[in-house]
Amino acid sequence: MRKVALRGLLARRVRLALTALAVALGVMLIAGTYVFTDTINSSFDRIFTSSLAKTDVAVTPNDDLTSDGFEGVDPIPADILQRIQGLPGVAAASGGLFDESGTILDREGEPISNGAPNFIASRAQLDRFEAFDVAEGRMPSGPGEVALDKSTAERKDLEVGGTVDVIGREPRKRYTIVGTVQIAGADSFGGAGVALMTLPEAQRMTGKRGAFDQIDVAAAEGTGAEALRRTIREALPARYDVRTGEQEAAQLSDDIREQFGFLTTALLAFAGIALFVGAFIIFNTFSITVAQRAREFALLRTLGASRRQVMRSVLTEGAVLGALGSAVGLGLGILVAKGLKAMFYAIGFDVPAQGTVLETRTIVVSLAVGILVTLVASLAPALRATRVPPVAALREGVAMPETRSSRLAFPLAVVLTSAGIAALVAALAVVSDTTTGLTLAGIGAAATFIGVGLMSPKLVGPIAAVVGRPLSRRLTGRLARENAVRQPGRTAATAAALMIGVALVSFASIFAASAKETVAGYIDRGLIGDVVVQNKDGFTPFSGGARELLAALPGVDDVAAFRFAQVRIDGEDKGVTGVDPDTIGAVYDVTSGDDVIAGLKDGEIAVSSDYAEDEGLRAGSVLTVRTARRAQLRLRVAGTYEDKAELLGARVMSNETVGREIGASRDSYLFLGLADGAAARAAVERALRRDFPQIEALTAEEFKDDQAAQIDQLLGLIYALLALAIIVSLFGIVNTLALSITERTRELGMLRAIGTSRRQVRSMIRQESMIIAVIGGVLGLAVGVVLAIVFTTAIGDIELHVPASSLVVLLVLSAVAGVLAAALPARRAARLNVLDALAHE
Amino acid sequence: MSTTPLVAAEQLIRTYGTGEATVHALAGVTVELPAKQFTAIMGPSGSGKSTLMHVLAGLDRPTSGRVVLDGVDITGLDDGALTRLRRDRIGFVFQSFNLLSVLTAQENILLPLSIAGRAPDAAWVDQLVGVVGLTDRLHHRPAELSGGQQQRVAVARALASRPAIVFADEPTGNLDSATSAEVLALLRRSVDEFDQTIVMVTHDPGAAAIADRIITLRDGRIVSDERAGDGIAVAERA
Ligand SMILES: Nc1ncnc2c1ncn2[C@@H]1O[C@H](COP(=O)(O)OP(=O)(O)OP(=O)(O)O)[C@@H](O)[C@H]1O
Ligand SMILES: [Mg+2]
């Protein structure tokens, strides 16, 4: 029996390849994700291990509360270094800086990256602790000198001997490039730009005079690293972390893994979508082949094969197919990992990915997932094969028996769809834990898709009738429509695969459009100033120096800064917004309670009325929080406010308090009120270009466009990843068409014999494909719109906005994709030899 | 029969395979088919009947020799020209799989015209439908018709575009004797009443008897060529 299965596979090689691709593409993204992130992680491991190789103990400020990029930790003052140097067992200790608030400018005066951080780092005081190796030139030795990481220098054409401008907490300054450096053999420090300076210069630029981000300690002869760590630990206050070099490297690696962990999860989610689509295709392909081979199974049964043997024969095919597809996917994944690196490089992240790390886990997961998906998808067709009665072998044209399950399919589909949507609503509205919420949402979406997929055989006819009407005036169109609905189940499953991709794309585009509208609404409602100042990348905070600079300009009437920081309340990390109480009223419209905000005093906090209600707070209550600087900070609640523009969040403090108690000294936005006329705006822009070219001043309209552009960029990325699922579903169309054409060979022969031209045959197949694709598109749009309504309603803060024109474009693209998918099958059908076709069995 | 023949084939040879395994499906067939005549081709299985028909109809190319159909040498035509020739000048009736299951009887009858994008001659089609006796079955799909009815639809389809010649390969091969008779009578009528030219391949001497002329093949050669019924040889070839 196994021989029957394997021979059968070999006899249908092309179909096998197409079906295996359906699994392979999903597996490819799984493997690619793992290889990519493992390679990044191992490269970072190497960087950290090598840069800490000579460090027995590392001392850093405790940044427990600020790991999400919120600032606040104070650097280590020089007297701590002296204290360490005096401890027994210490051979040498020196402090260094590695500060991520820098901005390196390219030759045009623009920031070198949009996203990856730029570091201002100090050259090690003692050579033994130097993490960087000179690649070209030499190390900086004076206040006007800098060395750049080799990747940045090469990418941005910044040559040794030339100059480069760097901005820190201090304004822009021009340096001579005296060298380029590598770290642990890598040209780039994780894609970040590094400007390496002398320690005093780095301390001046970062505003950390006389202080360090890290102290490296070397143990004296005969003292172990762990023993030394304990000595230092005892001598220092708890707000400093003391780790051995190895522990510190491991800690840094963990932090990086956590940061890239999100990326891994996101990419795997898209791989999951592609596999889910692939499962539809495998299911459909097996259903068709099982139906086509009904007589073969019947014959086997008359010859004495048991049901179980028939089933095993089909499942063996599935397993072989899954294994093949997964193996191919694994191979492709390694290539994709390189592609992902290139993609990241293109958008400005030169992530260190040296070599290719292929872990056993990658191989095991890829193969296991691929085979499992294929087996599960072929289970139902395999069961169906066992139900072919032996007498079918003796009769002409037996149909597969209608089973109870297929009669129950429609009601089941309705139940499944409703349950799926209910799960989505629950995931969004009820569950508060993110992981559980996302998992539940995923399950809900999958159930919805399967439900609609099961429903769709009943929908194929009506949709095809409408879609096919304009085509039906011509014979080819009429036949295309009839052929598309001839086997509704088959067309439905094929279309359902495309539906998934289209639904997610339309959902994403509706969601993005709604988000854009909502943000624009916020800006209209909240911003009453003339100009918003923000980092060009849209999110990195910038030096408080900018605020002072702009406030002093003639024509700038009001400046209000907004800072975002983090505190811990009852063990949970919560955001707080820092504002300038004196000036905020002139540039920002708080819905209600603006007097509370304007009256905020040092040591006070204002809370949103919702938050006050949830926590039972009112004016005069005391709220105790933990910050990066203070274990316990008692804040008096000044009152409550409502902010429909959503900029302030649930908790507001004065920038004075935020800066001093939390340590957040950089601003995320400045809202400016300007004097009438163009002069003030021009002065602002001139000043920014001169001193802080990494930040920009935008009018309300420009700010909206900028926010929209950020959403669009994310949307583009999502589209690119969903494209994979859509490609998989197009393979499904190719496969179904190919199988249908095989079935209809004789008919095609007859049509050709009585004078149908090859062109007409091609056009007929193309139109059939187009109808299938448009059915998928229509179903996808419908599901996408429903999902978007569910999401926006459940989230509540977002106004639904349906971009009708994008959806129409999407439908047209589905049709075009259908035509493209038909290219090969149509060619094959047109090429059929008339006589061979007529004689076809 | 003094007019120029509608189809003239000269020294047709069609071989399959090479070397030892070479099969001479046609081993030198020369034949002329005048217009408005009903010709039956008979012969044992494997004698080359279908091959001859395919070559005459431009569905297959001879290894050597030539076929002139309605004044055109079709052996030199490319695929596009052959397709148009079949569409406009030739009608076909096959043993089975004649009809598209997704179209109604009427749509099947009009199929060649739809393919050509030509408007049907309504009077002619009505007359045809009447003759084949399917007036009340026009909107049924093939699956709802009997085998005989299906074959009658196929004949109507072959005649609908008023082709120069109709080729039928064992049109009654799948039918019982009563339904066979209906289909044969229909073919006969189309020659007598509409001046149609028909070439029919058949195994059944009874079916052949309805023709004007019976050509018998053996091993790829014509072994007899006689007028039906009276047994008088029209021509004798080796
Ligand atoms: N495609 C092919 N390849 C090889 N040989 C072929 C092919 N088609 C036909 N033949 C051979 O050519 C010869 C004539 O075949 P043909 O189909 O014309 O016979 P026939 O008279 O129509 O037989 P039947 O009455 O069984 O339909 C046979 O020996 C057949 O085996
Ligand atoms: Mg034959």
State pLDDT tens for residues A720-747.
889 989 999 999 999 899 888 888 888 8
Query: Are the beta carbons of A216 and A81 closer than 8 angstroms?
Result: no
Q: Which residues form the pocket of ligand 1, taking CB atoms under 6 Å from any ligand atom?
A: B 16-17, 23, 25, 43, 45-51
Q: How large is the average pLDDT for residues A253-259?
A: 86
Whether the pLDDT of residue B158 is over 50: the answer is yes
Contact A479 B92 (CB under 8 A): no
SS (H, E, C) A278-328: HHHHHHHHHHHHHHHCHHHHHHHHHCCCCHHHHHHHHHHHHHHHHHHHHHH
Q: How many domains does the structure of chain B reveal?
A: 1
* CA A692 to centroid of chain Cα atoms: 30
Beta-bridge partners for A197 = A122
In three-state secondary structure terms, A115 is coil
Q: How large is the average pLDDT for residues B155-171?
A: 91
Q: According to the model, what pLDDT value does residue A365 have?
A: 94
Q: According to the model, what pLDDT value does residue A4 have?
A: 65
Residue carrying structure tokens 């076929």 = B67
pLDDT single digits (tens) A8-65: 666 677 778 888 888 999 999 999 999 998 988 888 888 888 888 889 999 998 766 6
Q: What is the DSSP letter of B19?
A: G
Q: According to the model, what pLDDT value does residue A10 have?
A: 67
Q: How large is the average pLDDT for residues B25-49?
A: 93
Whether the pLDDT of residue B236 is over 60: the answer is no
* CA A766 to centroid of chain Cα atoms: 35
Q: What's the mean pLDDT when you consider all of chain B?
A: 87
Q: How large is the average pLDDT for residues B120-143?
A: 87
Q: Which helix (H) or strand (E) holds A35?
A: helix A13-51
Query: Are the beta carbons of B71 and B182 closer than 8 angstroms?
Result: no
- Which of B 99-128 lie inside 8 A of A, CB atoms? 100-103, 107, 111-112, 114-117
**Position B2 in a domain:** no
B142 exposed, middle or buried (CB, 10 Å; 0-12, 13-18, 19+)? buried
Give the pLDDT band of residue A207 (cuts 50, 70, 90). Answer: confident
Contact A754 B91 (CB under 8 A): yes
pTM of the model: 0.82
- Which of A 445-474 lie inside 8 A of B, CB atoms? 474
Query: Are the beta carbons of A597 and A655 closer than 8 angstroms?
Result: no
Distance CA A313, CA A4 (A): 7
Q: What is the CATH number of the domain that holds B51?
A: 3.40.50.300
Q: Which of A107-121, A164-178, B23-37 has the lowest mean pLDDT?
A: A107-121
Probe residue for ligand 1, chosen from B13, B29, B49, B215 as the CB with the greatest number of ligand atoms within 8 Å: B49
Query: Are the beta carbons of A170 and A184 closer than 8 angstroms?
Result: no
Contact A750 B157 (CB under 8 A): no
A636 touches chain B (CB under 8 A): no
- Strands of A669-674's sheet in order across: A622-625, A633-641, A604-608, A651-654, A572-579, A556-569, A669-674, A531-535, A695-699
Give the tokens for residue B34: 């005048």
Helix axes A13-51, A360-386, angle to 10 degrees: 160
Which of B53, B55, B61, B83 has the highest number of chain A CBs within 10 A, making it the mutation to test binding with A?
A: B83
Distance CA A228, CA B227 (A): 119
Give the tokens for residue A190: 């994780």
Chain A residues close to B87, C-beta within 8 Å? 754-757
A471 exposed, middle or buried (CB, 10 Å; 0-12, 13-18, 19+)? buried
> Smallest CA–CA separation between B107 and chain A, in Å?
10
Give the pLDDT band of residue A646 (cuts 50, 70, 90). Answer: confident
Who wins on pLDDT, A157 or A260?
A157
ipTM above threshold 0.85: no
Q: According to the model, what pLDDT value does residue A356 have?
A: 80
In three-state secondary structure terms, A127 is helix
Ligand 1 atom showing the smallest separation from residue B26 Cα: 14
Q: How large is the average pLDDT for residues A225-238?
A: 91
Whether the pLDDT of residue A347 is over 90: the answer is no
Beta-bridge partners for A633 = A625
pLDDT single digits (tens) A455-501: 888 888 899 889 888 888 888 888 888 888 888 888 999 999 999 99
Q: What is the CB neighbour count within 10 angstroms for residue A127?
A: 10
**Position B93 in a domain:** yes
In three-state secondary structure terms, A27 is helix
> In chain A, what percentage of residues exceed pLDDT 90?
41
Tell me the Ramachandran region of residue A157: left when phi exceeds 0, alpha when psi lies from -120 to 50, beta otherwise. Answer: left
Q: How large is the average pLDDT for residues A507-528?
A: 89
Nearest of A164, A148, A154 to residue A111 by alpha carbon: A164
Query: Are the beta carbons of A199 and A170 closer than 8 angstroms?
Result: no
Q: Which of A209-213, A266-270, B2-6, B71-75 has the lowest mean pLDDT?
A: B2-6
Nearest of B7, B5, B4 to residue B167 by alpha carbon: B7
Q: What are phi and psi of A131, to 5 degrees?
A: -85, -25
A57-61 and A118-122 strand pairing:
unpaired
Nearest of A326, A333, A270 to residue A723 by alpha carbon: A270
Q: According to the model, what pLDDT value does residue A5 have?
A: 66
Please tell me the residue having the least CA distance from ligand 1 atom 28.
B46
> Smallest CA–CA separation between B87 and chain A, in Å?
4
Query: Are the beta carbons of A507 and A290 closer than 8 angstroms?
Result: no
Please tell me the residue having the least CA distance from ligand 1 atom 13.
B25
Opening angle at CA A497, ends A491 and A501, nearest 5: 135
Q: How large is the average pLDDT for residues A132-153?
A: 92
Long-range CB contact pairs, B2-6, < 8 A, 24+: B3/B34, B3/B35, B5/B32, B5/B33, B5/B34, B5/B35, B6/B33, B6/B34, B6/B35, B6/B69, B6/B70, B6/B164, B6/B165, B6/B197
Contact B111 A754 (CB under 8 A): yes
Q: According to the model, what pLDDT value does residue A839 have?
A: 76
pLDDT single digits (tens) A83-134: 999 999 999 999 999 888 888 999 888 888 766 778 899 998 888 888 888 9
pLDDT single digits (tens) A735-793: 899 888 888 888 899 999 888 999 999 999 999 999 999 999 999 999 999 989 888 88
**What type of residue is A753?**
A
Chain A residues close to B98, C-beta within 8 Å? 750
End-to-end CA distance of chain A: 24
Who wins on pLDDT, A818 or B179?
A818
Q: How large is the average pLDDT for residues B25-34?
A: 93
Q: What is the DSSP letter of A662?
A: I
Structural domain boundaries, residue B175: 7-237
Contact A755 B103 (CB under 8 A): no
Whether the pLDDT of residue A840 is over 80: the answer is no
pLDDT single digits (tens) A72-82: 678 899 999 99
Contact B100 A835 (CB under 8 A): no
Please tell me the residue having the least CA distance from ligand 1 atom 7.
B16
**Position B180 in a domain:** yes
Q: According to the model, what pLDDT value does residue B231 have?
A: 44
**Position B224 in a domain:** yes
Q: According to the model, what pLDDT value does residue B147 have?
A: 85
Q: According to the model, what pLDDT value does residue B238 have?
A: 32
Whether the pLDDT of residue A402 is over 80: the answer is no
Q: According to the model, what pLDDT value does residue A1 have?
A: 58
Q: How large is the average pLDDT for residues A224-237?
A: 91
pLDDT single digits (tens) A324-345: 999 999 999 999 888 888 877 7
> In chain A, what percentage of residues exceed pLDDT 70?
94
**Position B1 in a domain:** no
Rg (CA), chain B: 18
> In chain B, what percentage of residues exceed pLDDT 70?
94
pLDDT single digits (tens) A529-563: 889 999 888 888 888 888 999 999 988 999 999 99
Q: What's the mean pLDDT when you consider all of chain A?
A: 87
Distance CA A219, CA A212 (A): 20
Give the pLDDT band of residue A663 (cuts 50, 70, 90). Answer: confident
**Position B23 in a domain:** yes
Give the pLDDT band of residue A169 (cuts 50, 70, 90). Answer: confident
Distance CA A195, CA B180 (A): 95
Task: Tell me the ligand closest to B42's alpha carbon.
Answer: 1
Which of A474, A740, A754, A764 has the highest number of chain B CBs within 10 A, making it the mutation to test binding with B?
A: A754
Among A486, A747, A835, whose Cβ lies nearest the Cβ of B97? Answer: A747
Q: How far is the CA of B50 from the centre of ligand 2 (A)?
A: 4
**Position B106 in a domain:** yes
Among A483, A757, A834, whose Cβ lies nearest the Cβ of B102? Answer: A483
Q: How large is the average pLDDT for residues A646-670?
A: 89
Q: According to the model, what pLDDT value does residue B235 have?
A: 40
Distance CA B92, CA B85 (A): 12
A395 exposed, middle or buried (CB, 10 Å; 0-12, 13-18, 19+)? exposed
Q: Which of A34-38, A80-84, A505-509, B128-132 has the lowest mean pLDDT?
A: B128-132
Q: What is the CB neighbour count within 10 angstroms for residue A14?
A: 11
Query: Are the beta carbons of A411 and A317 closer than 8 angstroms?
Result: no
Q: According to the model, what pLDDT value does residue A8 have?
A: 67
